Structure 1
Amino acid sequence: MAEQTSDTPTTELWVERTGTRRYTGRSSRGAEVLIGSETVEGVFTPGELLKIALAACSGMSSDFPLSRRLGDTYDVTIRVSGAADRENEVYPHLVEEMALDLSELDEEAQQRLVALVERSVDKVCTVGRTLEAGTEVTLKIVPDA
């Protein structure tokens, strides 16, 4: 289990095998996500989930500055792309594109908002910051009780 660094209770996360190269990801808050290989219909691959986590983190990190300037009902779509380097099993470069209607703002206001969103994402997107910094991952094999 991850080390807790605040007073907020840690959400437990796990995956359970449901078939050949098929898993269900679960959280102690009742969320579920279907995971599997690219050959399995109706699931996300682990790499796709990584990209979705990055896009969602950027969206959530920019939500307050965007809603303050564009209103609570603004629409945004964040796409993430980047091919895997299968020889090294890494994603060497991920590209995010945030599609957002800024037509109600003049050019100067658009530039200020874009800069504010970039700063907000750089400052508080935990997923992006983790990917950029690199993270030590420890795998422990434990007996199933």
Structure 2
Amino acid sequence: MKNKTTFLQKYPFLISSVMVIIINLTGCGSPLKSNTEVVINESFGTHFDLVDTVKVEQKVGVDNYETTTILNPSNMVEYLEGATAYDETLTGIEFDYIFTFLTSESMREYNHRQQEASIKFSQSKNILCYERTCLKLSDDFILFLKENHALN
């Protein structure tokens, strides 16, 4: 009886080589997002692979903003998870802060998708808005921002 050699026995590295090629072609640089990215993406419709910084800027003039603090986005997750959709009109609402969610320069190699999103914040209404998505946050969020020197 003849000993038959299968195709995979002849070429054992074929499967792993094909998998490496597929991963490289699909641009799958960060397949496992942390809960932080998942919550931010679901909350605002963003497409982050990695978010490691939130720069908080206060409006100080017509089109001028001043940085008040830098926050870790993972500290904001619990407030975003507890937020509710804000569907009321935005007419007349003053957005006095901008929260820039971003991937820092040193981490950009791990983020192949969206790297920055400017999210407007109204302290008086306690809402965050990104494009057409607005969220109403709890009063605890204001307390969190004050404790972290984000609000003046």
The bucket for the TM-score relative to the shorter chain is under 0.3
Q: TM-score, normalised by structure 2?
A: 0.23
Which protein shows a greater Rg?
2
Higher RCO (CA < 8 A, seq sep 6+): 2
